[in-house]
Chains A and B, each alone.
Chain A
Amino acid sequence: MAVPPALITLLIGVVLTLAGLWVGHNVNLLPVEASSNAPVYDDLFVVLFSIGTILFLGITGLIVYSLVRFRRRTGDTGDGLAIEGNLPLEIVWTAIPAVVVLFVGIYSYDIYERMGGMASLHDHGAMAPMVEQVSVQSSGQDERIWGGIGRSGDGGAVLPVDVTAMQFAFIFHYPGAEITSGELHVPLGQSVELHMEARDVIHAFWVPQFRLKQDVIPGQPTVLTFTPTRAGSYPIVCAELCGPYHGGMRSTVVVHEPEAFEAWLQSNRPATVAAAPGHPTG
């Protein structure tokens, strides 16, 4: 019974695609989503995972099939067919990856835009386009703000937090409330703007559940914004080798319900400065 090869190819292609899509959508390798940018990230992940699975299964299948089907039987000393190439075929397998890669590139650009990575951070008064010079009061001299990523969403209230990274801890300072803490506390659903600075060597601020990471480089104050969307405690991990205790440089970010966050602010606000809350500049 002769089934046309083209049909078989088509069938295998369809099965592969379905398998890839199924795997992409049903195998979850990521931790929970806890920021507005995590679902966007996970969309990209599903696409990449599906495409990757299709390619990988297809190629693996091809090798295994070839090794079994075309293995040399004992006693056979002949050669295979002298096929030196096939231009149309080669064009096809140049074109397919090119299209896939172009699609992935454009798609991830879109994702990146949605995550706020391409934003010039114009929205907030004190911030200028990335890599443009800006005066920052804190140290009295000109400093450069390097853009981080993230977005402040709806233009609602923004909670600024100063982050100082040093060997081997993150220190969080709430300019409005004059609170200094070793843990980051943030309210659910509100955009948070981290103003990060490093004291000694490079560190990196990473919250896996937020799908966000930004190097904190000495001499280059960096801004990172995000909006937490799920209450709970999540680890803050230093992701850049910074010395012997790099592995121990961990902290926690606690995402509170808004009321609980207010309560936390109240209970931690130093009584002495409560009278004159600084204006949250940035």
Chain B
Amino acid sequence: MDTSLQPVTTAQPASEEHGHPDFRLFGLATFLVADGMTFAGFFAAYLTFRAVNPLPEGAIYELELLLPTINTVLLLVSSFTFHRAGTACRSGRMQTSRRWLLLSIALGIAFLAGQMVEYFSLPFGLTDNLFASTFYALTGFHGLHVTLGVICILIVWFQARPGGSISQDSHFGLEAAELYWHFVDGIWVILYGILYLL
């Protein structure tokens, strides 16, 4: 064993991508568990409010079902299109993959647009009552996730261009975005169930 007491003067260790296998997807999955817990907290708060705090007299909290249902379908389809993009990329058909990505982006943006329309047509505002506030907090927080997701897919789409950094052999970015997108999608389904159907 080397027993020198020399202070260490060599430089940094190798960066994570090269020193050992890539655990970034695992890390992302762990992060999504954490993120899911944030939503769980919001859901728990909303459900408790509903169970304990009656809607005050004269307060309006009415939700239309049509638009959010369309939105749910849009998001579910986008998960499917993203999945196709992933499959295409892994089998080397980068052009097809990019087309599916574009479609996912379009669906994501359509979802956001639908959300905006809903926001502006609702009969209550952020501070009108407890349920209104919780509604906006939940959908807004989710919308933020969708926005972030759309931006990520855009970046992935750009990187997947011919000669870009994403290819059949190196597609971490795409897989991460896909995992994230499915997560956001799943959260929406729960949210839809709790907020609109319950």
Contact = CB atoms under 8 A, between A and B. Distances in A.
- Interface range on chain B (Cβ under 8 Å from partner): under 10
Interface string B32-75: 00000000000000000000101001000000000000000000
Chain A contact residues: helix, strand, loop or mixed: strand
Contacts of A144: 52
A142 interface: yes
B56 to A, nearest CB: 8
Contacts of B57: 141
Interface string A116-150: 00000000000000010100000001101000000
Nearest to A219: B53
Nearest to B54: A142
A133 B54 CA distance: 10
Interface string A63-101: 000000000000000000000000000000000000000
Nearest to B56: A141
A142 B54 CA distance: 9
B9 to A, nearest CB: 35
Contacts of A133: 54
A131 B53 CA distance: 11
B12 to A, nearest CB: 39
A144 B52 CA distance: 9
B45 to A, nearest CB: 16
By Cβ-Cβ distance, the 5 closest A-B pairs, closest first, are A142-B54, A141-B57, A131-B52, A133-B54, A144-B52
5 contacts: A131-B52, A133-B54, A141-B57, A142-B54, A144-B52
